A and B are shown apart, each in its own frame.
Chain A
């Protein structure tokens, strides 16, 4: 690990605070159902980043900003009367690259939503491991890769143990909502409890795809 000057150290402290704030702002945009603003304000803009930006969940990845918009804006399940969502950012850990160009983030959230499932307002508990790779652009830290590993989702007031262990995707409201991603794959497997991808961020020198939460960092990814 290289040694940093006093000025570099305090700048790195603020880099990490800024990264955490980006993730928190993303949560409030989600809760406000201001998804377009979230993409505009918080996600990468520079062309080389926009082309490789990714939004992943258990079932694969949307790759490139246009594809992310196809999922995140066109497939938005919120906004109707009685719907809502809250995905708090808690238990967060962040590591900044020694070169100061990227930050790996991970957090955990116990979330709640009320969404329409087959036309019926359905209250859901959702436990998720969140990851994001942030990259420094001209106007600050931006989300480059974003991955939500859903560990469980269950209807509020219903015994989780009553849910089939291997819930078919077509019966899983989260899988149905995720639709038809650019890269369809088993990206996050909950069959055996803890899934080691994406890894807990560790100190690193510079970004490499295998460190991040984009598809290329997934051990199941086949080019």
Chain B
């Protein structure tokens, strides 16, 4: 496809904007703003938006919002325990002031491939995530590596790039400073044991989309790379793509 100088400049701006969207998304997840993600970044008009996690598809904005809200609710539910453990530091502060205390989820995204459709209406992106979860868990304050991949379809909506389909797959989660071919050596601590009951909503369509690393895992490839394409009908989708439900 041959583009004019003006088109090349516009397409460069599109590509940068898409990288900005994903960068902002990663930053908001780091600072515990999961409850804001759908409103800020997701398309409100595209057909069948989906969020894919390792264990299945969240289909539609309501299900996707429910997933993110549950993460936020779980963070809020830790606050009474944190106040009990740190009365001097946290006892007089509001829930709003201390929301996310003890939690930090850096998600540096690297190795970007972004392809904007020739028609300029959609785009696809793939990133590697070199993340970590620093969190209050049943093991106490706990740091784990959280490496994986983000793949997304974007749609241009009122001159803004919005997420249409998002695949966010954990490749490896293991306690920091341990060997990831061995089991987690840390015991559940009595003072934090109640946190083991925290859960997230089940996917709308459960499916084995990406197996987290274990020594028993067969060799597993990252999500498929975007390729140059004319219009969305000419390429593959990061939305529900026929992977068998379970």
Q: Are A and B genuine complex partners?
A: yes
Interface size on A, residues (CB 8 A): 39
A115 CB to nearest chain B CB (Å): 11
A157 interfacial by beta-carbon distance below 8 Å: yes
For the complex, give the distance between the alpha carbons of A88 and B215 in Å.
21
* A114 B213 Cβ-Cβ under 8 A: yes
B246 interfacial by beta-carbon distance below 8 Å: no
Interface size on B, residues (CB 8 A): 34
10 nearest A-B pairs in the assembled complex, by CB-CB distance: A32-B221, A157-B179, A88-B110, A82-B215, A90-B110, A89-B111, A7-B5, A157-B178, A10-B8, A24-B111
A86 and B147 in contact (CB under 8 A), knowing A10-B8, A13-B12, A157-B179?
yes
- The total number of A-B Cβ pairs within 8 Å is 93
* A123 B179 Cβ-Cβ under 8 A: yes
B202 CB to nearest chain A CB (Å): 27
A172 interfacial by beta-carbon distance below 8 Å: no
A221 CB to nearest chain B CB (Å): 30
For the complex, give the distance between the alpha carbons of A13 and B217 in Å.
41
B218 interfacial by beta-carbon distance below 8 Å: yes
Binds B, one of A52-60, A73-81, A93-101, A211-219: A73-81
From DSSP, what is the main secondary structure of chain A's interface residues? mixed
A124 CB to nearest chain B CB (Å): 10
A176 interfacial by beta-carbon distance below 8 Å: no
The 8 A CB mask of B94-135 against A (1 = contact, 0 = none) is 000000000000001011110000000000001010100000
Of residues A17, A28, A80, A158, which shows the largest number of chain B Cβ atoms within 10 Å of its Cβ? A28
* B218 A81 Cβ-Cβ under 8 A: yes
* A28 B113 Cβ-Cβ under 8 A: yes
Residues on A facing B (Cβ under 8 Å): 6-7, 10-11, 13-14, 17, 20-21, 24-25, 27-28, 31-34, 78-84, 86, 88-90, 109-110, 112, 114, 121-123, 155-158
B21 CB to nearest chain A CB (Å): 17
Chain B residue contacts of A88, Cβ below 8 A: 110-111, 128, 130
For the complex, give the distance between the alpha carbons of A10 and B11 in Å.
10
For the complex, give the distance between the alpha carbons of A144 and B217 in Å.
34
* B111 A14 Cβ-Cβ under 8 A: no
* B12 A17 Cβ-Cβ under 8 A: yes
B68 CB to nearest chain A CB (Å): 26
B181 interfacial by beta-carbon distance below 8 Å: yes
For the complex, give the distance between the alpha carbons of A8 and B213 in Å.
46
B180 interfacial by beta-carbon distance below 8 Å: yes
For the complex, give the distance between the alpha carbons of A101 and B179 in Å.
45
* B5 A83 Cβ-Cβ under 8 A: no
B110 CB to nearest chain A CB (Å): 4
For the complex, give the distance between the alpha carbons of A24 and B115 in Å.
13
Q: List 14 A-B contacts (CB under 8 A).
A: A13-B8, A14-B8, A20-B112, A27-B111, A31-B221, A34-B221, A82-B181, A84-B171, A90-B130, A114-B213, A114-B215, A121-B181, A156-B180, A157-B178
